[in-house]
Amino acid sequence: MHIPDGYLSPETCAVLYAASAPFWYVALRRVKKLLHTRFLPLISLFAAFSFVVMMFNLPLPGGTTGHAVGMGIAAIVLGPWASILAISTALAIQAFFFGDGGITALGANCFNMAIIGSLSAWCLYHLLAGNAPNTARRRVIAAGLAGYAAINLSALLAAIEFGIQPIFFHDAHGTPLYCPYPLSISVPAMMLGHLTFAGFAEFILTAGVVAYLQRADPALLGDSAAGQPRALRPLWLTLAALVLLTPLGIIAVGTAWGEWSPSDFAKAPAGLARLSNLWNAPIARYEPQFIRSASVGYIVAALIGVALILLVFLLLSRFRPGFIERTTGHLYEIAAHSLFAEEIARTRGLLQPVDPRLKLCCACLLLVAAISIRSWLPLLILLGLITALALLSHIPLSLLSKTVWFPALAFSGLIAIPALFLTPGPLLYAHITRPGFKTASLLLLRVEACATISAALIFTTSWSRLLRALRFFRIPVSAVMILGMAHRYLFLLLRTARDMFEARQSRLVGTLPRAERVRLTASAAGVLLSKTFELTTEVHAAMRSRGYHGETYLLDDPS
Amino acid sequence: MSALLEARDLVVHYRDVPALTGLSVSVAAGERIALLGANGSGKSTLLRVLDALQFPDSGTFHFAGEPITAERLEDRAFSREFRRRVGLVFQNADVQLFNPTVFDEIAFGPLQLQLPKSDIRARVQQTLQQMSLEHLKFRSPHQLSGGEKKRVALASILVLDPEVLLLDEPTAGLDPRSASEMVELLASWRGAGKTVLTATHDLDNLEDIADRVIILQDGRIIADSTPFHILHDVGLLQRARLIAAHRHTHPGGAKQPHPHVHADPLTPPAAPTSDRFGPPADSAATPPIPRTPATPRAKDPD
């Protein structure tokens, strides 16, 4: 659900950044007031925790695995405001350090997952759990459902953001310039995945951790560690208003809510109809006329699509290593990535000696340029240029293709392929339409260009210098501290998690039954959470010992 | 002369578990003290109380004649002054290194105390050189080895140049060479006028790092003497679980096996036994270990 750069128009990104900003502001102020001084290490460590938990593979029905975002558990344990900050921090580190999720799309990702996700999870949890005692079974179920609903709401928002792209951002011929799928496709496609897989992962994690805490540390479930907001109702109202207003805000170009659907639905099935003919053709003669109508064709195509996705998942899970190995594999990858990045950042290439503030500015401008360009030639030139810069900065071509180009191609390529056929317009070759080719190639090129720009920034700038550069953009000192501390403890928690899984694996003979695997992963997350809290207390003591009183100061110059 | 640190009848509980049970200690300026005691004897808690991170359930703590309480520490000016004069190096260096780089870590304390920024830069630079950490300046804490982490943690306190240094197991978990470097550093403060309290299990280097040794057991002091006297009292060391009866090194380096008799499993445990792990911590009686020659250098098997 992490939206990469290149799928959303600059206008959409700007609106969503603007929509997130007041929440960050309020959250920073509010949490600081509520928690006096402990909030800084708490948010930081919790951000690190949710980052690590995102790496956990959770066994899902059908032999597949998925991973959760952790907004459910963050909202329940920290309260909604602290959770907004913690999840936003985790997302920012992923974008700025690991190139996971876009930098221009960070506003959108934070809005969907950190803000709406946390608020809805928290509201729903308290609505469902009521006044049940901390150790009640009802709290486990309430937590699971809250996580499930929150991630689905986030997915729905993302789907809407995707779906409105073709309506507002298309060329003179109606060819979509960003995400090529209208709401009629983006919403069901996203929701199918999340209602089944990702939703269950979130359910299992949230419920599992709450169940673990009930046994191990029920006090954590009582008062949210960051204090309770006084009244529930204002939060509910805010949430409802937001959910209704967001699409309106993005649409803000003069179209009213609801107007998109007729035009949209009229446009999409034109392409779908042709695709559906592919499937319907062999049996067409035996079917009544309505079966060949566009809407039925669409449903058939969607069903076949879902079936294909399921099949691929099942096949993949047959060939993939055991599930503990997969989690530890992810954890190792993160450590390896940071090692590579720091190593390359230390060599003397073209971009390394450049002032990080300048680099960050340029990278952001280039990203905005990349998502603003609407034809393929300038994009291709931009991609070539950035690649040249990256190579001159000693980023090996193999690393670039392995960690940047190929994953982006695989992910966005899969997404772009159906657009080749579904976008209505004159045929180019076989069933591929001319606008379909244009929209798919634009999307791919843009995504690759953005990913390469991010990689050029990330691989040539060490994290600490990047952090200092952020100060230049007037990001509050406490936010920079949180980012820095979250990143630093990320590695400690990664190692702890890795040790836990490896210790379990070393005692493992044969394969674990599924229920056992679920319990193992959920309780690993629970143990990690307890450790996170212990560490928070200790780190806070260490900070106080050196005079920390709730204010933070930094040496500003990026030395 | 009045004591610099004066604790009276400290009682501290963690939930229901007692950590300190009526401990009183008085430390004069310039003293170098080693705190000995088995795991869970209250060393770390005592250090936390002396650093005003934790306040006793009952009892008092005075620093330079001033009573230290939670309310007193709310006063920014006072708290800043106290933090500048007293520094604690945590046992777990990971806890203490929470900044993105070594440089930021060392600058954190001075920044919090709001020293002028140019002054801070100079101080940090000087500390980096003193502790030979110059080459690690821009490293992240997760890229440091265990020994380097400990050095950085110590540097982050030394940069404040505190009068009182509280060290929680500075050599624990270090390889022999890093440990001996750390001991050399601590030993170099002899006569430097610093007041140093070191919690440790390391009996080998006791005489280098301390002029006075305090042994804690179950949250109170059971012995307070010179390193020489403490190291020669084998019974005391065994009682405090600091050496094991059957495996310890004698002068000359020989590991001497000590003959012993196991109690008959059928007889009730009235007969005092001596198992591998030494006598139980709460047994006040001298265990029936065959008398060994005095061990100026007894060694903890761990």
A178/A325 same-domain check: no
Q: What is the pLDDT of residue A146?
A: 93
Q: What is the pLDDT of residue A34?
A: 64
Q: What is the pLDDT of residue B242?
A: 80
Collapse the DSSP code of A58 into the 3-class scheme (helix H, G, I; strand E, B; otherwise coil) and give the result: strand
Reported ipTM: 0.79
Stretch A91-104: mean pLDDT: 84
DSSP secondary structure of B130-154 = HTT-GGGTT--GGGS-HHHHHHHHH
| Within-domain flag for A92 | yes
What SS3 string covers B278-301? CCCCCCCCCCCCCCCCCCCCCCCC
| Within-domain flag for A529 | yes
Residue A432 parent element (H or E): strand A432-433
Interface contact B117, partner A, CB < 8 A: yes
- Which DSSP state fits A66? E
8 Å CB contact between A222 and A78: no
B85: tokens are 């004069």
Of A467, A491, A538, the CB nearest to B95: A538
Contact A546 B157 (CB under 8 A): yes
**How many alpha carbons lie under 13 Å from residue A290 in its C-beta half-sphere?**
0
Amino acid at A263: S
8 Å CB contact between A252 and A398: no
| Within-domain flag for B111 | yes
Long-range contacts of B157-160 (CB under 8 A, 24+ apart): B157/A546, B157/B87, B157/B88, B157/B89, B157/B109, B158/B87, B158/B127, B158/B130, B158/B131, B159/B106, B159/B107, B159/B109, B159/B110, B159/B123, B159/B124, B159/B127, B160/A546, B160/B83, B160/B84, B160/B87, B160/B109, B160/B110, B160/B113
List of chain B residues whose C-beta atoms are within 8 Å of the C-beta of residue A535? 95
Are β-strands B212-217 and B32-36 bridged in parallel, bridged antiparallel, or unpaired?
parallel
List of chain A residues whose C-beta atoms are within 8 Å of the C-beta of residue B117? 555
- Chain B nearest-CA distance from A65, in A, is 30
A84/A225 same-domain check: yes
d(C-alpha A338, C-alpha A411), whole Å: 22
What SS3 string covers A382-426? HHHHHHHHHHHCCCCHHHHHHHHHHHHHHHHHHHHHHHHHHCCCC
| Within-domain flag for A127 | yes
A163/A305 same-domain check: no
Strand partners, B213: B34, B225
Interface contact B105, partner A, CB < 8 A: no
| Within-domain flag for A228 | yes
A248/A323 same-domain check: no
List of chain A residues whose C-beta atoms are within 8 Å of the C-beta of residue B80? 547
| Within-domain flag for B126 | yes
Interface contact B141, partner A, CB < 8 A: yes
A179: tokens are 């995400």
Last residue of a domain, one of A432, A464, A496: A464
- Chain B nearest-CA distance from A23, in A, is 26
- Chain A nearest-CA distance from B143, in A, is 9
DSSP secondary structure of chain B = ---SEEEEEEEEEETTEEEEEEEEEEE-TT-EEEEE--TTSSHHHHHHHHTTSS--SEEEEEETTEE--HHHHHSHHHHHHHHHHEEEE-SSHHHH--SSSHHHHHHHHHHHTT--HHHHHHHHHHHHHHTT-GGGTT--GGGS-HHHHHHHHHHHHHTT--SEEEEE-TTTT--HHHHHHHHHHHHTTTTS--EEEEE----TTHHHH-SEEEEEETTEEEEEE-HHHHHH-HHHHHHTTSS-SS--BPTTS-B------PPPTTS-TTS----TT-S-TT--SPP-PPP----TT-----
Q: What is the pLDDT of residue A29?
A: 82
d(C-alpha A488, C-alpha A291), whole Å: 58
Stretch A194-204: mean pLDDT: 81
Q: What is the pLDDT of residue B212?
A: 92
d(C-alpha B83, C-alpha B73), whole Å: 10
* Total count of domains within chain A: 2
A335/A457 same-domain check: yes
* Helices A434-460, A80-98: inter-axial angle, 10-degree rounding: 90
Closest Cα to residue B108, out of B96, B91, B93?
Answer: B96
What SS3 string covers A187-253? HHHHHHHHHHHHHHHHHHHHHHHHHHHHHHCCHHHHCCCCCCCCCCHHHHHHHHHHHHHHHHHHHCC
| Within-domain flag for A470 | no
Contact A464 B96 (CB under 8 A): no
Number of helices and strands (H, E) in chain A? Answer: 23, 4
Q: What is the pLDDT of residue A381?
A: 92
d(C-alpha B178, C-alpha B168), whole Å: 16
d(C-alpha B123, C-alpha B103), whole Å: 11
Strand order of the β-sheet with B17-27 is B17-27, B5-14, B58-63, B66-67
8 Å CB contact between A163 and A187: yes
List of chain B residues whose C-beta atoms are within 8 Å of the C-beta of residue A491? 140, 142
- Which DSSP state fits A61? G
- Outline where A36-117 has alpha helix (H): 39-53, 71-78, 80-98, 106-109
| Cβ-based interface (< 8 Å): residues of A facing B | 41, 44, 342, 462-464, 467, 484-485, 487-489, 491-492, 535, 538-539, 541-549, 551, 553-555, 559
Amino acid at B254: A
**Which CATH number goes with the domain that contains A29?**
1.10.1760.20
B290: tokens are 């065959």
Q: What is the pLDDT of residue B247?
A: 66
The more confidently predicted of residues A246 and A414 is A414
For residue A147, is pLDDT > 90? yes
Residue A285: pLDDT band with limits 50, 70, 90: very low
Q: ∠ CA(B91), CA(B30), CA(B63), 5° rounding?
A: 75
pLDDT in tens, chain B (302 residues): 578 899 999 999 887 788 889 899 999 998 999 999 888 888 999 999 999 998 999 999 999 888 998 888 888 888 888 999 999 999 888 888 988 889 989 999 998 888 888 889 999 999 999 888 889 888 888 888 888 899 999 999 999 889 999 999 988 888 888 888 888 888 888 777 889 999 988 888 888 888 899 999 888 898 888 888 888 888 888 888 887 766 666 655 555 555 555 544 444 444 444 444 444 444 444 444 444 444 444 444 44
pLDDT in tens, A41-91: 888 888 989 888 887 766 665 555 567 788 888 998 888 888 999 999 999
Q: What is the pLDDT of residue B248?
A: 64
Stretch A256-267: mean pLDDT: 36
pLDDT in tens, A18-43: 999 999 988 888 777 765 667 788 88
A109/A23 same-domain check: yes
A440/A492 same-domain check: no
d(C-alpha A102, C-alpha A367), whole Å: 9
Phi, psi of B256 (to 5 degrees): -90, 130
Q: Residue B14: which domain range?
A: 5-232
pLDDT averaged over chain A?
Answer: 77
Neighbours of A350 (CB within 10 A): 15
Q: ∠ CA(A477), CA(A539), CA(B124), 5° rounding?
A: 60
pLDDT in tens, A512-547: 676 777 777 888 888 888 888 888 888 989 988 888
| Within-domain flag for B203 | yes
For residue A192, is pLDDT > 70? yes
- Chain B nearest-CA distance from A467, in A, is 9
| Within-domain flag for A5 | no
B232: tokens are 């020669």
A179/A49 same-domain check: yes
A256/A270 same-domain check: no
Contact B92 A464 (CB under 8 A): no
A402/A442 same-domain check: yes
Q: What is the pLDDT of residue A330?
A: 72
Interface contact B88, partner A, CB < 8 A: yes
As a whole-number percent, the residues of chain A with pLDDT over 90 amount to 13
d(C-alpha A404, C-alpha A39), whole Å: 35
8 Å CB contact between A92 and A483: yes
Q: What is the pLDDT of residue A65?
A: 59
Of A41, A463, A548, the CB nearest to B100: A463
The shares of helix, strand and coil residues in chain A, as percent rounded to the nearest 5, are: 75, 0, 20
A273 Cβ neighbours under 8 A, 6+ residues apart: A293, A294, A297, A298
| Within-domain flag for B280 | no
Of A464, A492, A546, the CB nearest to B112: A546
* Total count of domains within chain B: 1
List of chain A residues whose C-beta atoms are within 8 Å of the C-beta of residue B100? 463-464, 467, 484-485, 487-488
For residue A319, is pLDDT > 70? no
Q: ∠ CA(B20), CA(B25), CA(B30), 5° rounding?
A: 130
Q: Which residue of A has its CA nearest to B88?
A: A545
| Within-domain flag for A555 | no
Last residue of a domain, one of A405, A431, A464: A464
Q: What is the pLDDT of residue A245?
A: 56
Amino acid at A43: I
CA distance to A388, A452, A517, per residue, from A459 (Å): 14, 10, 36
| Within-domain flag for B187 | yes
d(C-alpha A126, C-alpha A129), whole Å: 5
| Within-domain flag for B241 | no
**Which CATH number goes with the domain that contains B13?**
3.40.50.300
Stretch A483-490: mean pLDDT: 88
A512/A392 same-domain check: no
List of chain B residues whose C-beta atoms are within 8 Å of the C-beta of residue A488? 97-100, 140-142
| Within-domain flag for B44 | yes
Q: Residue A394: which domain range?
A: 263-464
d(C-alpha B79, C-alpha B112), whole Å: 11
A437/A521 same-domain check: no
Neighbours of A534 (CB within 10 A): 13
Contact A491 B79 (CB under 8 A): no
List of chain A residues whose C-beta atoms are within 8 Å of the C-beta of residue B119? none
Stretch A377-382: mean pLDDT: 90
Q: What is the pLDDT of residue B153?
A: 92
- Chain A nearest-CA distance from B228, in A, is 33
Q: What is the pLDDT of residue B286?
A: 42
- Chain B nearest-CA distance from A369, in A, is 31
d(C-alpha A423, C-alpha A401), whole Å: 29
| Within-domain flag for A556 | no
For residue A305, is pLDDT > 70? no
| Within-domain flag for B150 | yes
**How many alpha carbons lie under 13 Å from residue A468 in its C-beta half-sphere?**
20
Most confident region among A205-214, A258-267, B256-265 by mean pLDDT: A205-214
- Which DSSP state fits A427? E
d(C-alpha A74, C-alpha A41), whole Å: 15
List of chain A residues whose C-beta atoms are within 8 Å of the C-beta of residue B94? 492
